[in-house]
Amino acid sequence: MNGFERREIRAMASGRLEGRVALVAGASSGIGEATALALAGEGARVAIAARRLSRLEGVAARIRAAGGEALAIRADVADEAQASGMVEAVLRDYGRLDMLLCVAGVGVAAPFRNTTTEEYRRMVDVNILGVLYAIHAALPAMTRQREGHIVVVSSGTGRYIHPSTVYSGTKHAVGAIAESLRREVGKDGIRVTSIEPGAVRTEFTAQMRAEVRESVERRLGDMEQLESEDVANAILYAVTQPRRVNVNILTLYPTGQA
Ligand SMILES: NC(=O)c1ccc[n+]([C@@H]2O[C@H](COP(=O)([O-])OP(=O)(O)OC[C@H]3O[C@@H](n4cnc5c(N)ncnc54)[C@H](OP(=O)(O)O)[C@@H]3O)[C@@H](O)[C@H]2O)c1
């Protein structure tokens, strides 16, 4: 058990999210995993979704061992039926949905001419359509409840231009979708937050081609990156504000990142 988990388990007693239900899409590793642990640490019942069920079951076991409640759901968010199926599973098992956290994402951090059309498709399918499908499935329940919080994990590349043209484009889209949606659904008591991290030390580069991964690693050098828990803390800040407060955008960068 690491320090973060110990802290979270202590926090569970205070339970700022007691009685709340969260769905974290993309919770099998990195930022999503840390976010699921942080939300559970505050007393939320947490559904966790991704493609790697065995990893999800490991996260769920840690939450349960710490006294929390978790539901692992295998889902590919780029598949509309699976994305809506994960929301339906949460509503069936937990009866409501207070927070939808769209964390799942893929990225090939390469210039346009060094990105294949298959990679464009994967980024658009997961980073844009995956977010839209999940929101589409979750909104009716949140509207009925007259309460809900949608958190999307965009990126610093969704605000500032970095040399990763298509990935950056998908994250700009996510930020625009979040802000437009916020204006549309706020009157229904639904909050929308976009989180924009700089470089975070996760498995994110593992899904990139070796050549791209090496160039990203060279670019980052020995700069100290954010930890997943830093981003989870930013998310926790947004979701624990009073209902009258919508945290629109949170941008956080490693201190050493230009
Ligand atoms: N690391 C960074 O520097 C950084 C910076 C800014 C923003 N971000 C964003 O942060 C988010 C999380 O990334 P991370 O850094 O935590 O990397 P990560 O450890 O690779 O996590 C990515 C998560 O997304 C899930 N995922 C990917 N494709 C999916 C799909 N089709 N369906 C369902 N789940 C899928 C993965 O699970 P499965 O593989 O099990 O499906 C995993 O849980 C991404 O949206 C990324 O764009 C990352």
- For residue range 76-92, list pLDDT tens digits in order: 999 999 999 999 999 99
> Could you give the C-alpha distances from 225 to 25, 121, 187, 199, in angstroms and in order?
23, 28, 38, 6
Q: Quick check: is 167 catalytic? A: yes
CA dihedral 55, 56, 58, 60 (to 10 degrees): 170
**pLDDT (tens digit per residue) in 118-146:** 999 999 999 999 999 999 999 999 999 99
Measured distance CA(208)–CA(52) in Å, rounded: 17
Is the Cβ atom of 175 under 6 angstroms away from ligand 1?
A: no
CATH superfamily of 12-252: NAD(P)-binding Rossmann-like Domain (3.40.50.720)
Q: Is 197 in the pocket of ligand 1 (CB under 6 A)?
A: yes
* Contact in structure between 77 and 83 (CB atoms under 8 Å): yes
Q: Is the pLDDT of residue 45 over 60?
A: yes
Cα of 93 from ligand 1 centre, angstroms: 25
For residue 104, pLDDT beyond 90: yes
State the number of CA atoms in the 13 A half-sphere of 160 facing the CB.
11
Q: What is the pLDDT of residue 162?
A: 81
- Inter-residue contact 227 to 200 (CB < 8 Å): yes
Domain ranges in the chain are 12-252
Mean pLDDT of 193-214: 95
Over 80: is that where the pLDDT of 17 sits?
yes
Asked whether the predicted pLDDT for residue 97 surpasses 60, the reply is: yes
Task: State the pLDDT at residue 220.
Answer: 93
Residue 3: predicted pLDDT: 53
**Across the chain, what does the average pLDDT equal?**
94
Q: 3-state DSSP call for residue 197?
A: strand
Instruction: Detail the DSSP E strand segments found in the chain.
Output: 21-25, 45-50, 70-74, 99-102, 148-153, 190-197, 249-252
> Which range is least confidently modeled, 57-66, 159-168, 182-191, 195-204?
159-168
Cβ atoms of 49 and 88 within 8 Å: the answer is no
Among the atoms of ligand 1, which is closest to the Cα of residue 34? 16
Looking at ligand 1, which atom is closest to the CA of residue 51?
41
- The per-residue pLDDT for 163 is 82
User: How would you classify residue 81: left for phi > 0, otherwise alpha for psi between -120 and 50, otherwise beta?
Assistant: alpha
Q: Is the pLDDT of residue 2 over 60?
A: no
Residue 7: pLDDT band (50, 70, 90) is: low
- Measure 28 CA to ligand 1 centroid, in angstroms: 8
